[in-house]
Chains A and B, each alone.
Chain A
Amino acid sequence: MASTMANKGFSPFKKKEKDPTLSEVKLTRREKRERFKKRLECLTPEEQKYLKRKQFTDAVWPVFRALIVFGLCFIILYPLIFMVSTALRTRADMNDPTIMWIPKHITFSNITDVVKAINFWDILGNTLVLNIGCSVIQVLTCAITGYGFARYEFKGKKILFFVVIMMILVPPQIILIPQYMFFRYFNPLGIWKLITGSTISLIDTPLTMYLPALTANGLRAGLFIFLFRQSFKGLPKELEDAAALDGCTPLETFVKVMIPNAGSTFLTVFLFSIVWYWNDYYVSTSFFVNNKTIALELKNLDTNLKVLLFGDANAQVNVRELIVWMESACLISILPILVLYVCLQKHFTEGIARSGLTGM
Chain B
Amino acid sequence: MMKLRNLSYEKKKGLYGYGFIALWFIGALMFFIVPLFQSFYYSFHVVTPETGYLDIKPLIERVDGVEKTNIFLNYKNAFMTDPNYRQYLVEVLGDMALNLPVIVIFSLFVAIIINQKFRGRTFARAVFFLPVIIATGPVYAIITGDLDTGGNSEAAQFSTMFEADMVDQLLEFIGIYGFGTKFTELLTTLTSDILNLVWKCGIQILIFLSALQGIPASAKEAAAIEGATSWEFFWKITLPYISPMILVNIVYTVVDAFTDPTNQVMERLLSVQSEWKYGYSAAMAWSYFGIILVALGIIFAIMNRLVWYDD
Contacts and interface: CB of A to CB of B under 8 A. Distances in A.
A121 interface: no
A177 B42 contact: yes
B23 A215 contact: yes
A192 interface: no
Nearest to A268: B206
Contacts of B229: 50, 53-54, 57
Contacts of A65: 113, 116, 118
B258 interface: yes
Contacts of A73: 123-124, 127-128
A360 B245 CA distance: 7
A174 interface: yes
B186 interface: no
B30 A171 contact: no
B277 to A, nearest CB: 11
A299 B285 CA distance: 23
A6 interface: no
B183 to A, nearest CB: 24
B199 A76 contact: yes
Interface residues of B, number: 96
- Per DSSP, chain B at the interface is helix
Contact of A169 (B34, B52, B147, B255): B255
B272 to A, nearest CB: 11
Contact of B261 (A153, A282, A353): A282
Nearest to B41: A178
B141 to A, nearest CB: 8
A346 B19 CA distance: 35
B31 A182 contact: yes
Given A178-B39, A217-B24, A353 B259 contact: no
- Per DSSP, chain A at the interface is helix
B180 interface: no
Interface in B127-162: 127-134, 136-139, 142-144, 146-147, 149-152
A141 B198 contact: no
Contact of A172 (B13, B15, B147, B259): B259
A181 B293 CA distance: 26
B39 A174 contact: yes
Interface in B270-311: 270, 273, 278, 281-282, 285-286, 288-289, 292-293, 296
Given A171-B289, A182-B35, A359-B214, 11 more contacts: A166-B32, A173-B285, A174-B39, A175-B31, A215-B24, A276-B136, A279-B137, A279-B139, A298-B137, A323-B149, A338-B133
Interface of B: 10, 13-21, 23-28, 30-36, 38-39, 42, 52-54, 110, 113-114, 116, 118, 120, 122-134, 136-139, 142-144, 146-147, 149-152, 194-195, 198-199, 206-207, 209-211, 213-214, 227, 229-230, 244-245, 248, 255, 258-259, 261, 266, 269-270, 273, 278, 281-282, 285-286, 288-289, 292-293, 296
